[in-house]
Structure 1
Amino acid sequence: MRNVVVTDIPRSDPARIGTLAAYGVATVHEALGRTGYLGPGLRPAWPGARTGGNAVTVVCWPGDNLMIHVAVEQCREGDLLVVTTTSPSTDGLFGELFATALRHRGVRGVVIDAGVRDVAELRAMGFPAWSAAVSAQGTVKATPGAVNVPVSIGGRLVRPGDTILADDDGVLVCPREDLERGIEASAARAAKEAAAREAFEKGELGLDRYGLRERLPELGITYMTAEEYNGDR
């Protein structure tokens, strides 16, 4: 890995990212063909947060948050910091002081494949954070890494300037060039879900709405009474 800071990354309109984020991670994930989910290992530090932004990526060494300090300077309004480490780490690389500096620059949150701390303070200030761990373990500021280079989290590639969405369901990456397609597909998905919700509220069953009932015999599923079941064993 080169120890480099890339300063001129591409970015999408934060307002358009906000439009996509409003649909939620689960809906966008489905709309994009069930791609982009960064895995179950990233959870919100506090519930109820929903955000989206342009990825500013950071590569740190375990137990060392030097490059997050470097990355703060590269952040703009509408960005979202995405941090990973060169090998697995649960140390608390990110906390309330970083959040204060990033909020001043208009950053919409942080996703870190390591640990966060100061959870109560993050919740009180309303700064969204997703992490692989919560840990009070402190860090040093000594080892060079990289800012705004492609990174991998949960087996998914995240490039600088890609769209990152995050809410209670997890974190998703949408390639920057797919943002408008994602908005269009998510709008269609949301409309479909609204129609299904209305049908379910009226008593329709998913078995019938999704055409599943006629498939049950093909899958070997049979219906029988309790008497028939007990006599068949």
Structure 2
Amino acid sequence: MTKTLLGKIAPERVKSLDIERPPQDLIDGFKALGDASGIVSDVMDHLGIAATLPGSLLKPTIPGATIVGPAMTLRNTVMTGHPVDNARAHRNGMAEIEAHNIAEQGDVLVIEGVPGLSNMGGISAQVAKRQGEIGAIVSGGVRDVAHSRRVGFPVWATEVSPITGKWRIETIEINGPVQIEGIRVNPGDLVVADDTGVCFIPRDRAREVLELSRKRAAAEDARCDAIDRGVAIRDLPSAS
């Protein structure tokens, strides 16, 4: 199906309507690991990929939620003009609706946002859910958390704020590279998020990370089984 924009953002600011996403078998492989941000983070340490953020920084709005999917990226900045003047003139610079419009089933919206303000609210979360997105990662504030919980749309955000971004934020790019708390995320990179944290896996390293994560998960399962069987501490399988 041909994708078209809604006219909420200049076309040249949308870098791609169709991003290159990881193969489904890779996504399914990471899903099978469960809440595995710790394992994935360990593997990325060994591979020299510094792309994990803790759950204490990117706080999940729905406890127990686990998502795995390709990043669809959006970048916001502070809008010019006074918010009161912008509100009176109905100058709304936010355009995450364009990202929802071109989203595909299973995408994760990753927003380089503005701190102290809401970069995404409840209605936006509801639209995202309907469009097939499975969650959002926001460097910046979000609001209407009860609404997003009610529709079952998990969000990991650095802040919660009731202050609207409508008259204060401008979306300047969709599906270009973004910076999430110092980590570069490209559209199509794989996002793994759970209660513990968020891992951003470069798309071209995802298969390598998955293979090693499977091995580490199997080793941890064997160690846990040995603990349950009463194996002496000195004889437990190595954790490395």
- What is the TM-score normalised by the length of structure 2? 0.78
> Which of 83, 90, 94 in structure 1 is aligned with 2:111?
83
How far did 1:25 drift?
1.1
Q: 2:13 — aligned with what?
A: 4
Cα distance in 2 between the residues matched to 1:42 and 1:207: 37
SS at match of 2:96: helix
- Deviations 1:78-108, CA, capped at 9 Å, x for gaps: 21000013xx512122122111211222111
> Which of 148, 160, 182 in structure 1 is aligned with 2:175?
148
Q: 2:198 — aligned with what?
A: 171
1:1-233 aligned at under 5 Å gives the runs 4-6=13-15, 7-23=17-33, 24-33=36-45, 35-39=50-54, 40-62=56-78, 66-85=94-113, 88-140=114-166, 143-204=170-231, 209=236
Cα distance in 2 between the residues matched to 1:145 and 1:206: 55
How far did 1:208 drift?
5.4
Cα distance in 1 between the residues matched to 2:211 and 2:193: 19
- What is the TM-score normalised by the length of structure 1? 0.80
Runs of 5+ in structure 2 lacking a partner? 1-9, 80-91
SS at match of 1:130: strand
Q: In structure 2, what residue type is equivalent to 1:57?
A: T
Cα distance in 2 between the residues matched to 1:151 and 1:9: 14
Runs of 5+ in structure 1 lacking a partner? 213-233
Cα distance in 2 between the residues matched to 1:65 and 1:204: 61
Tell whether the 8 Å contact from 2:61 to 2:156 is kept in structure 1 after alignment: yes
How far did 1:154 drift?
2.5
Cα distance in 1 between the residues matched to 2:199 and 2:99: 21
Tell whether the 8 Å contact from 2:76 to 2:173 is kept in structure 1 after alignment: yes
Moved more, 65-74 or 187-196: 65-74
Cα distance in 2 between the residues matched to 1:124 and 1:15: 30
SS at match of 1:94: coil
Tell whether the 8 Å contact from 2:116 to 2:161 is kept in structure 1 after alignment: yes
Higher CA-based Rg? 1
SS at match of 1:70: helix
Cα distance in 1 between the residues matched to 2:139 and 2:171: 18
What is the count of residue pairs matched by the alignment? 209
How far did 1:67 drift?
3.0
Cα distance in 2 between the residues matched to 1:186 and 1:98: 34
RMSD value over aligned CA atoms?
2.5
Amino-acid identity (%): 31
Cα distance in 2 between the residues matched to 1:193 and 1:49: 22
Cα distance in 2 between the residues matched to 1:28 and 1:18: 14
